[in-house]
Structure 1
Amino acid sequence: MEIYLFPYKYGFTNGALKACCGGEGRYNVDPSVECGDASATVCDEPDTYVSWDGIHLTEAAYKIISKNLFSTPQFNSLCSTLTSGVGSLGSI
């Protein structure tokens, strides 16, 4: 997904891998610390993160994905160009 390759293009200034809510470390993710635990840390600006907790995305990331999902060409219109020449393969 483009959002992971180019997070800054979409305003995610904290990159795509570092979690907003977590347990410290390089990516702010500790499997033994869940969001809501007393030892969990939560960022001040979740809209600048792609990842909420290392597994789930932030609301801002889901918003970008859903907007792109409905504004890009339909899947079948993309595939029609790939399958338009398939019928002629039978004559080979």
Structure 2
Amino acid sequence: MIFSKDYVGYLARQTLKHLVAEKMIETAKPAVLEERVTAAMVEELALEDRINDEVRVILEAFQDDMLKTGASYPEMFKKVKNELARKYKAVL
């Protein structure tokens, strides 16, 4: 993940503070809401890491074929990553 969990927690707190101040949301339990928003943000930001791991597994399986055809690992990584991002409907 490109951000630390502490920073994501900070972003969640600031986002909730703004939403409450603008009366866009109401909550009786701000700590619970902050925890849930932080967890959702961490999960969403970790999606790219999970996609990268899946790409590595896929490319490892085709490693021999890539060597035979002379395919570039970085180029194939980008192509497979873009396909998986489309599959998961992720914006990276």
Give the alignment's TM-score, normalised by structure 2: 0.27
Which structure has more strand as a fraction of its residues?
A: 1
Which structure has more helix as a fraction of its residues?
A: 2
Q: Structure with the greater relative contact order (CA < 8 A, sep ≥ 6): 1 or 2? A: 2
